[in-house]
Amino acid sequence: MNTRFATVMLLASATALGACAKKAPEQLPPPPPTTTAPSTPTPAPTPAGPQVGSQEHFVSAVNGQNVIYFDTDRFNIDSQDAAALQTQAQYLARYPQVLVTVEGHADERGTREYNLALGERRANAAKNYLVSLGVDAGRVATVSYGKERPVALGSDEQSWAKNRRAVSVVIN
Amino acid sequence: MKTLALALVAMFFTGPLAAQSQDLGQPVPEGGQVETTGVEASGEDADGGLTFTVTDESDWADLSIAIPGFAADRDVPTPANADGTGALGREIARVITANLQNNGLFQPIGPNGLPQPGFAEITAPAWGNWRGRGAEMLVHGYVRARGDGKLVIGCYLYDVALQDELVREGWVVPPADWRRAAHKCSDIIYARLTGESPFFDSRIAYIAETGPKDRRVKRLAIMDSDGANHRFLTLGSATALTPRYSPDYSKLLYLSYVDGNPRLYVYDIGTGRQTLVTQSANPTFAPRWSPDGQTILYSMAVAGNTDIYRVPASGGRSVRLTDAPGIDIGGSYSPDGRQIVFESDRSGSQQCYIMNADGTNQRRISFGGGRCATPEWSPRGDQIAFTRIAGDFNIAVMSPNGRNLRVLTNGWQDEGPTWAPNGRIIQFFRTERNSGRSSLWQVDLTGRNERRLPTPVDASDPAWGPILP
């Protein structure tokens, strides 16, 4: 337990430091010394592109179709959703080691608890469609975020349409 | 930098460990029984009361109440106030004045700008002085530091015109609980003058919100009914939602994403222990207590379909109460515990339904146009408050048979009503368009007296507990 705790703390700290490093420094660092020319040749780049099992690889392979969208208060899979889910199912068939979570979301124009249930219903609609295409149900988890995690921040029809979504995310 | 790193650690620290070791709050005031004590009667201990009845609130809107500082028998040091019991007496009067304001019933004045009565005057008011100031009602009180470290606080309400004592009571409190005596005093004044049940000595659980709209940090928080004694109970590393105080204030039910999924927990305030409401891999939402605290209602999604269940608060077997296809969620018991009002979209949109506590006899009650969400049964039993969705989101009330619908608020998005212990005031939260910022508000049943509650940061999901003993 303690070892695990320490590991988690270590990982969390590393992540925290990483996050800190990304912050814009208040003062620019001093310019690198220009007197010494680089003596070692630049190492050959490792094979480019994201690795299988990463979210980047998945999103790139399905051409961004890891997100499907819903009408207000609806959770049905329309033809556009079906096409996106077919692309996802093909990816999952090609990489049988990959597991995904479908995250269900609602727009802000609903009460909190109902939206949690609605997000769960949307995530399950996407999952069921994937399963109907032959994906093992055990490889697809679901989670609802209700209206808690919007991607579009306005309070208008356009933003709400972007937030009524189910997002497939690769589990690392 | 260290603080920032710690905060980031907290943010990334969302594993199950956090549930037990990282996201716990500090101990919370117990909220036990306040000891009542006899207080000395005033000079003319008349038995007369008010000779008129409270029928029209407009008659009362001008009722002026003078609330000078409570008198100390001797000005001595007290842990309750750095400046001694004299200063504490003025603070008590300030709390009472603030309580009685803003409800459309009274015009309380004090203690600033009023003469400070001496200790002897508490039971023998200087009637002429108060009549000269136009006060119709007069509140007097005293503070005495007892040898055992506790405070004795006495409270008197006088009718100035009749030169009559209307009510008096006294309490013995530890110094840390001095505000509870001020609330108890507010309660006896309110109850005596309106004929309604008291509500000031009560607490509110809610969700404190910070951060940008797409990365809101949501923490469990509690406070007294007037916003004092505010405490954050969770760190915010995991999103917390929809708290509910147990009827005895010993526990809180709430939803947490601490293990990555929405699940309901019982937070034991005394021990800080958190336990799952039900051992299930399915997501659970919308926790509620039965009025006797013996039963917990919750909603659970199985393969996307959400239904309402009940489980003994002490643990045990869950019983499913609804089985309609679609979302059945929430639920609020009638005060006698025999019926439950809940929300369902089985008709195609969110509407309110009533069923017996065992799940039988489910029937729709809302036919007033628009949608009906988050119904909450009044502690008096005579009304159901809900979120009415008809274009905008507003707080409304109706009779349990669905008639007499009245819309009380007109914000862009007002949702989640919760009743004051006396069933006369409703709190809710209001979300601003675009910014997504939220705040707590309250409104009385006339809809006329609406005001914002002060909170240290943005706030949502208020849940008002019952009157404290």
B214 touches chain A (CB under 8 A): yes
A118 touches chain B (CB under 8 A): yes
Closest CB to B242 among A8, A16, A112: A112
B373·A111 Cβ contact <8 A: yes
- In-domain check, residue A59: yes
User: Would you state the pLDDT for residue B298?
Assistant: 98
Q: How many Cβ contacts (< 8 angstroms) between chains A and B?
A: 114
Domain that holds residue A135: 55-170
B416·A112 Cβ contact <8 A: yes
Name all domains of chain B by residue range, CATH numbers in brackets. Answer: 35-194 (3.40.50.10070), 203-464 (2.120.10.30)
Among the residue ranges A86-90, B31-35, B164-168, B356-360, the one predicted with the least confidence is: B31-35
B110-117 — which CB contacts under 8 Å span 24+ positions?
B110/B66, B110/B67, B110/B68, B110/B69, B110/B139, B111/B67, B111/B68, B111/B69, B114/B66, B114/B67, B114/B68, B114/B69, B115/B68, B116/B68, B116/B69, B116/B71, B116/B90, B117/B68, B117/B69, B117/B71
By the 8 A CB rule, do B427 and B440 touch? yes
- Name the E strands within B85-182: 106-109, 137-145, 151-159, 164-173
Question: What ipTM, to 2 d.p.?
Answer: 0.88
User: Would you state the pLDDT for residue A38?
Assistant: 47
Mean pLDDT within A94-114? 98
- In-domain check, residue A30: no
Mean pLDDT within A76-80? 96
Nearest CA in chain A to B374: A111
Higher model confidence: residue B442 or residue B33? B442
pLDDT over 90 (residue B9): no
Mean pLDDT within B215-234? 95
pLDDT over 50 (residue B225): yes
- In-domain check, residue A13: no
Question: What dihedral do alpha carbons B257, B258, B261, B262 form, nearest 10°?
Answer: -40
B359 touches chain A (CB under 8 A): no
Mean pLDDT within A48-62? 91
Q: Residues B295, B296, B298, CA angle at the centre, nearest 5°?
A: 150
A134 touches chain B (CB under 8 A): no
By the 8 A CB rule, do B287 and B277 touch? yes
A148·B9 Cβ contact <8 A: no
- In-domain check, residue A62: yes
Smallest CA-to-CA distance from B352 within B340, B337, B336 is with B340
pLDDT over 60 (residue A33): no
Coil, helix or strand at residue A45: coil
By the 8 A CB rule, do B407 and B439 touch? no
Q: How confident is the model at residue A40 (pLDDT cuts 50, 70, 90)?
A: low
- In-domain check, residue A84: yes
- In-domain check, residue A152: yes
Mean pLDDT within A87-95? 98
Q: State the best of A76, A113, A148 to mutate against chain B, taking most chain B CBs within 10 Å.
A: A113
How distant is the Cα of A15 from the closest Cα of chain B, in angstroms? 8
Q: H or E segment at B282?
A: none
Closest CB to B373 among A114, A116, A149: A114
A13·B9 Cβ contact <8 A: yes
Write the DSSP symbol of residue A88: H
pLDDT tens for each residue of B291-339: 999 999 999 999 999 999 999 999 999 999 999 999 999 999 999 999 9
A121·B373 Cβ contact <8 A: no
Higher model confidence: residue B120 or residue B40? B120
> What is the C-alpha R_g of chain B?
24
Bridge-based pairing of strands B363-364 and B240-245 is unpaired
Residue A21 dihedral angles phi and psi, to the nearest 5°:
-60, -30
Task: Tell me what percent of chain A is helix, strand and coil, each rounded to the nearest 5.
Answer: 45, 15, 45
B8·A113 Cβ contact <8 A: no
B349·A16 Cβ contact <8 A: no
Bridge-based pairing of strands B71-72 and B137-145 is parallel
Nearest CA in chain B to A159: B434
- In-domain check, residue A158: yes
Q: How confident is the model at residue A23 (pLDDT cuts 50, 70, 90)?
A: very low
Nearest CA in chain A to B372: A111
Q: What is the CATH number of the domain that holds A107?
A: 3.30.1330.60
- In-domain check, residue A11: no
Coil, helix or strand at residue A94: helix
Nearest CA in chain A to B304: A121
pLDDT over 50 (residue A168): yes
Q: How confident is the model at residue B38 (pLDDT cuts 50, 70, 90)?
A: confident
A26 touches chain B (CB under 8 A): no
User: Would you state the pLDDT for residue B336?
Assistant: 97
User: Would you state the pLDDT for residue B270?
Assistant: 85
From CA A89, how far away is CA A69, in angstroms rounded? Answer: 17
Which residues between 360 and 379 in chain B have a beta carbon less than 8 angstroms from any beta carbon of chain A? Answer: 373-374
Q: B309 vs B158, B172, B284, B286, B393, CA distance in Å?
A: 51, 43, 10, 10, 27
* Structural domains in chain A (count): 1
How distant is the Cα of A114 from the closest Cα of chain B, in angstroms? 7
Q: How confident is the model at residue A44 (pLDDT cuts 50, 70, 90)?
A: low
How distant is the Cα of A165 from the closest Cα of chain B, in angstroms? 15
